[in-house]
Structure 1
Amino acid sequence: MTTVAVLGGGIGGLAASYYLCKSPQVTKVTHHHGATFCLSVYVSVSDMVLQSLSLCLQVIVLESSSRFGGWLWSTRRSDGAVFEHGPRGIRPAGAVGHNTLNMVDDLGLGGDILPVPYSHVASKNRYVYMNRRLHRMPSGLSGLLRTVPPFSRPLLLSVAMEMLVKKGVEEDESVHSFVSRRLGKELADIAVDSLCRGVFAGDCRKLSVRSCFPVLYDAEQRRGSLTLGMLLGSGTLLTVVLFTFLFFEFWVKISLEDGVVSADHIISALPAKALVSILPPSCQPLIQLLQDIATVTVAVVNLEYEGSILPVSGFGHLLPSSEDQALLGVVYDSVPFPQHDRTNGRTTRLTVMMGGAWFHEVFGSPDTVTEERLLARATEAVHCHLGVPTAPSWSRVSLQRDCIPQYYPGHFRRVESMRSFIRENNLSLSLIGSSYDGVSVNDVIFNGRTAVEQLLGTGV
């Protein structure tokens, strides 16, 4: 029997396990969590083992904490209220979005989806807080044709002029540089700065456009223009010791606190930093590449207020870094998902996100910052931005350490080099998760599927 060990029980590891289990060759699935284990790897010099994966397959999922799900983490109170401490929804667009929906349907969870249609106020109304005011982001044709604060000119003018801009010659650049060059500095400073803080909790002046927004990069490369590209279509742990040795047979030994498990292939859904901590000196080139992937820490503060306290209705608002480095944005959870409000009495649920790329500069070390300080900063933001004078009736502070990888320019080259090292050294190791090919839930699930398809050599 061939055994595949999946390291990490977050959404990436669980998705890979799901696709492995869809293979007709799977005969057994087990899991271990809350245990420290050691790992030894012996690598085959031939393809015989991978070919044997089609015979009989066992899947083992290993998770170091006491729970599965990784950054997907919810609190459900006895009165029915639900508070998300990580991702709270998916955008079902494109191939990766449809892939997630197909998986949800296959699991029999289609009826549990809470849809937010395009006609919903949470889809139409998104705000940016700038110059101490909330500004509704332009939407629809009318929003493009007229000047809408905080912008100084109609966005359609920027779009029209973009088609005259020459194609860039660099193989990668920062998101801010890319958008400034093609659409103007104002749009980059306000809209794109805020967007990158909301999606990556990162600084658009440091993030890679090729890795963070590949659709925009491909549109310019293929059509010479974002506008034409969009119109015409653009192709789109845990303490572990890993030892690698060339031998004529391949196997993996995983020593758990309560025994030993042998496996034939590893799918690592661990964050890059966790994988760094387990690789031996012989993998120094891979270690260096993994270390180059930075991460940021985000403070997530869930708040509940009595009554209906929002001055506007929408999904929430973001802040450009020029307005407030500490505050990334506020999500109006009760607007898109009123089903998660408590069942007795009207309340308003909010989530305040803080820190990200600016966490250390604003709050200092995550080891020393107190929950009281983070809660005070979050409630102050709600008071100033939304005019809410009262204190929340319920709150919870979650410090998500190193939760979002930062794709800096050249990230795609680093990932290519990692996988080249794995191939050239015959390591039976697959890399999945948000550290490599996309940080969204959809990306992580889809990349788990891709890794399984490559491993099995067939579609699942």
Structure 2
Amino acid sequence: MAQVAVVGGGWAGLAAALALEEAGADFLLLEASPRLGGKVFTHRKDGFLVEGGPDASVRYKREVLELAGRFGLEPLGTLPAKPAAYILRRGRAHPLPEGLLQVVPGDFLGLVRTPLLSLGGKLRALYDLLLPRGRKEDESLRAFVERRLGLEVYEALVAPLAGGIYGGEPDELSMRAAFPQLLALEEKHRSLLLGAMRARRARPSREGGSLFFSFREGLGALTARMAAQVAEKTLLATPVLGVEPLGGRYRLHTPRGTLEAEALILATPAPVAGGLLRPFLPQATALLKGIPHIPAATASLAFREELPVEGHGLLMAKGEGYRVRGFTWTHRKWPGRAPEGFSLVRAYFSGEVARLSEAELVRVALEDLRRHLGQEVRPERTFAFRFPEGMPAYRVGHRERIRGLEMALLQAPGVFLAGNYLEGVGLPEVVRSGQRAAERALGYLALAPKAERL
């Protein structure tokens, strides 16, 4: 019997396991697949280094940097590029406006100068300076941006940026859950533009010269270090088929047999956690099943030629007719990702198109790339990765749903959750959720009466 069973070996589960090990707790990490890392998957072949899932973390959130420092991994910044990213709108690629704060303009000159918006769109955005504060407790991203900055800013700028972060259609994203900082700017400064401008000026300078970072051997390098640290207490290819409470403990059913634990951390996607809790926490199951998950996929294409592209990547504005959500010019974004003379392009998908087969994803990515370039190109290598459970959608009311979930879990002392559906989809938030779940499990073990744990 273990003190804590951690179910799920993505970065949330690995972070929880590391925190438990550091505290000297007896734990067991169970992962259904033959590998650890979850959506973080670095593939190396024929001189190419390809990320199947996320390709970077951000410097201003410290969790991943601190974890990497523990293992002696040095962050690798992106290659210099100005502008770094473009948005395709009305058939043309426009550089992102200078001075963005998250997904909204944070610089008046950047807003006025951008060719991404029409004169009418810019004037409507400036009307934000005169508008009163909103009065809703929560509202959708689209409703918020339309109210403050206008429809054109939403469709041309905010929607492609937010879609790149959260996947799927961003219209119904909850401001309170997905962009609380922007909502706080309105509450504090009344004007979103003024608040964004002041917040951007107060923001510390970027360390290492770039906002995003990875590692020379890709994000999988950190997965490998974490996995090696907890290898002796890890069971791979061991799905948990069911969980049952057992007088202050929990019994887990697996193809290898049953095992028991005093506390349980579910670091799985929300639908999986909901299925495991159904027999004894139906209310929690209903709340977990109510969090939509949008399928996601990527296709990377390698070319034995230098493609006519600029910056690090291209996002698609609404209504452009592309099936890809955007492209990353990987060979221009990161050093050492492709052999000399090759171009490496990554297309990413979300929604129904992400359910296509790997071969179809490659075909669609190539069609959209040829359309954008206006020329015939033939890849030398292709790589495709599918994530059916994809990304959680933080719909309006998400924070209330999570609070309800926490209340429901009080009926099952010793059960804790971790994952990207709780308080953020980024890698730092995922790591933080695992560490927080471990802290709560350790606190529970210290406080639970010994008789309940025998």
TM-score band w.r.t. shorter chain: 0.7 to 0.9
When residues 231 and 384 of structure 1 are mapped into structure 2, their CA distance, relative to the original with a 3 A threshold, is closer
Residue equivalent to 1:45: none
Q: Shift in Å at residue 62 of structure 1?
A: 0.5
1:402 aligned residue (389, 392, 404): 389
For residues 338 and 155 of structure 1, do their structure 2 counterparts lie closer, same or farther at Cα, with a shift above 3 Å needed?
A: farther
User: Which of residues 172, 176, 182 is equivalent to 1:210?
Assistant: 176
| TM-score, scaled relative to structure 2 | 0.82
Q: Quote the residue 1:116 is aligned against.
A: 78
Are 1:435 and 2:421 matched, yes or no? yes
Q: CA deviation at 1:266?
A: 0.9
**Which letter maps to 2:271?**
K
Letter in 1 for 2:93: L
**What is the CA–CA distance in structure 1 between the aligned matches of 2:114 and 2:189, rounded to whole Å?**
29
Query: Corresponding residue for 1:383?
Result: 370
Please give the residue correspondences for 1:77-116 in structure 2 after superposition, counting only pairs within 5 Å: 77=45, 79-93=46-60, 97-110=61-74, 113-116=75-78
1:442 to partner: Cα distance:
1.2
**What secondary structure, in the 3-state scheme, does the structure 1 residue paired with 2:435 have?**
helix
Q: Gaps (5+ residues) in structure 2? A: 100-106, 204-237, 445-454
User: Separation in 1 of the partners of 2:263 and 2:17?
Assistant: 13
Within the candidate set 240, 252, 255, 1:254 is matched to 252
Q: TM-score with structure 1 length normalisation?
A: 0.81
Distance 1:388 1:20, change over 3 A: farther
Alignment size in residue pairs: 402
- 1:267 is matched with 265
Q: Pick closer, same or farther for the CA change 1:370–1:450 going to 2, 3 Å.
A: closer
Identity %: 27
Verify the 8 A CA contact 2:323 2:368 in the aligned structure 1.
no
Deviation sequence 1:274-296 (CA, Å, 0-9, x none):
11222234422111111111111
Using a 3 Å threshold, how does the CA distance of structure 1 residues 221 and 21 change in structure 2: closer, same or farther? farther
Aligned twin of 1:65: 33
After TM superposition, the structure 1 = structure 2 runs for residues 286-297 of structure 1, keeping only pairs within 5 Å, are: 286-297=284-295
Matches within 5 A, 1:238-387: 238-244=239-245, 247=247, 250-312=248-310, 314-324=311-321, 326-342=323-339, 345-354=340-349, 356-357=350-351, 359=352, 366=355, 369-387=356-374
Give distance in 2, aligned partners of 1:232 and 1:168. Answer: 19
CA distance in 2, matches of 1:75, 1:197: 25
Aligned AA for 1:19? A
The question of 1:189 aligning with 2:176 is answered no
Query: 394, 402, 411: which is aligned to 1:415?
Result: 402
Q: Is the 8 A contact 1:268 1:431 kept in 2?
A: yes
Q: CA deviation at 1:441?
A: 0.8
Amino acid across the alignment from 1:20: L
| Kept after mapping to 1: 8 A contact 2:243/2:251 | no
Is the partner of 1:67 in helix, strand or coil? coil
The alignment partner of 2:29 has SS state of strand
More deviation, 318-327/180-189? 318-327
Residue 278 to residue 455, structure 1, CA distance change in 2 (3 Å): closer
Corresponding residue SS for 1:293: coil
RMSD, matched Cα: 2.6
Q: Shift in Å at residue 66 of structure 1?
A: 0.2
Summarize deviations over 1:364-410 as a string: whole Å, max 9, x none. xx3xx443332221111111112342211111222221211111100
1:308–1:347 contact (8 Å) kept in structure 2: yes
1:199 — aligned with what?
Answer: 165
Q: CA deviation at 1:148?
A: 2.5
Aligned AA for 1:5? A
Q: Which runs of 5+ in 1 are unaligned?
A: 27-56
- TM-superposed CA distance for 1:159, in Å, is 6.0
Distance 1:324 1:200 in 2: 20
